[in-house]
């Protein structure tokens, strides 16, 4: 597979990127962030990041249990020792990632190995922080990772590609492609998913974005998107990353200036008599990125203003087509 030949376009991507760029401008205008507000946001996102990333890989700790393990050192009855260590390890890895963040940071294989070492510390010490030296197969995937002898060269190539600022591609799209390519190389025996979700966010954070947290509830969509990317189609993965990133940006903005207090569950919005669409259609618009919306748990949230903006744009397009 020639991985540098890729398709990431989907309907509405330009609008999505434009909206995220606008929110990035809003976020930058609020810097420096109030220390108390920033501490609260980061604590909550760090907890969510650990819970969701571990849950995607099969960890059964709930969000509240993850919080108790990390913050209180509690032992949760009925949960394995490994699951407890996974929570603590991932939290430590996030702290290390945050220590690296700076605008001039360049990714290195040393940092990737260190992050992986933290992810697997106290769990699989013999593999922690080391590239694999034998072949692996991934259950449910539509590909076989490359020969172990090629891992080092492939990783060097991928790191150089990510650090190359002359490549003309949107940075968020670039992060999503890196994410897939890392998974395809599968450089470690275990911990690849957790590690790549830390590393690609390190890249986004160095650019001034918050972490794009893939949610546990999107696990199936996430794996389906990775499988599509194996065939060169990155559209689903890019959409998922954009949705995850916008959600985190909305969390920052809502906590810093309360601009998102008008956002409601889609089920509430469509129940109002002046809304011309049903819940299924508005949910589709949200999933496709055609309206400003974010996901909390299993529910999508949007605002009347976001829906009205879509209606106005749709009407303008219809008038333009009629004239032509």
Distance CA 65, CA 88 (A): 12
CA angle, residues 310, 28, 197, in degrees to nearest 5: 80
Relative orientation angle of helices 35-56 and 81-100, to the nearest 10 degrees: 130
Token digits of residue 237: 């993965």
Bridge partners, residue 22, by sequence = none
Q: Provide the 8-state DSSP code for 150.
A: G
- Beta strands 299-302; 294-296: pairing state: antiparallel
Is residue 297 a contact partner of residue 213, using CB atoms and an 8 Å limit?
no
Q: Which of 84, 91, 179, 186 is flagged as catalytic? A: 186
The length of the chain, given as a count of residues:
324
Distance CA 310, CA 214 (A): 26
Helix (H, G, I), strand (E, B) or coil at 69: helix
CA nearest 218: which of 193, 246, 185, 243? 243
Cis-peptide into 301, omega within 30 deg: no
Is 84 one of the catalytic residues?
A: no
Q: Which residues are catalytic?
A: 186
């Amino acid at each position: 597979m020639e991985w540098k030949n890729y398709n990431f376009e989907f309907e509405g991507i330009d609008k999505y990127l434009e909206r995220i760029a606008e929110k990035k401008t809003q976020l930058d205008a609020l810097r420096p962030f109030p220390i108390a507000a920033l501490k609260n946001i980061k604590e909550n996102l760090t907890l969510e990041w650990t819970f969701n990333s571990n849950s995607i890989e099969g960890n059964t700790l709930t969000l509240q249990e993850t919080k108790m393990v990390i913050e209180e050192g509690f032992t949760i009855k009925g949960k394995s020792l490994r699951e407890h260590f996974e929570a603590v390890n991932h939290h430590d890895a996030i702290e290390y990632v945050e220590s690296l963040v700076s605008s001039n940071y360049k990714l290195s294989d040393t940092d990737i190995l260190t992050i992986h070492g933290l992810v697997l510390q106290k769990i699989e010490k013999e593999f922690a922080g080391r590239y694999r030296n034998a072949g692996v197969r991934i259950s449910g995937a539509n590909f076989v990772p490359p020969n172990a002898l090629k891992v080092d060269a492939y990783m060097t190539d991928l790191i150089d590609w990510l650090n190359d600022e002359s490549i003309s591609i949107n940075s968020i799209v670039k992060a999503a492609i890196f994410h897939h390519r890392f998974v395809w190389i599968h450089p470690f025996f275990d911990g690849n998913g957790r590690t790549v979700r830390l590393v690609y966010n390190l890249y986004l954070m160095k650019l001034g974005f918050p972490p794009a947290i893939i949610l546990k509830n999107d696990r199936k969509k996430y794996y389906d998107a990775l499988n599509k990317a194996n065939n060169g189609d990155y559209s689903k993965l890019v959409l998922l990353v954009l949705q995850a990133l916008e959600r985190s940006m909305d969390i920052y903005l809502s906590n810093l200036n309360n601009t998102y207090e008008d956002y409601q569950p889609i089920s509430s919005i469509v129940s109002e008599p002046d809304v011309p669409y049903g819940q299924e259609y508005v949910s589709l618009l949200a999933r496709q990125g055609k309206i400003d919306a974010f996901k909390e748990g299993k529910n999508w949230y949007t605002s009347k203003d976001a829906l009205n903006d879509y209606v106005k744009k749709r009407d303008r397009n219809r008038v333009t087509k009629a004239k032509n």
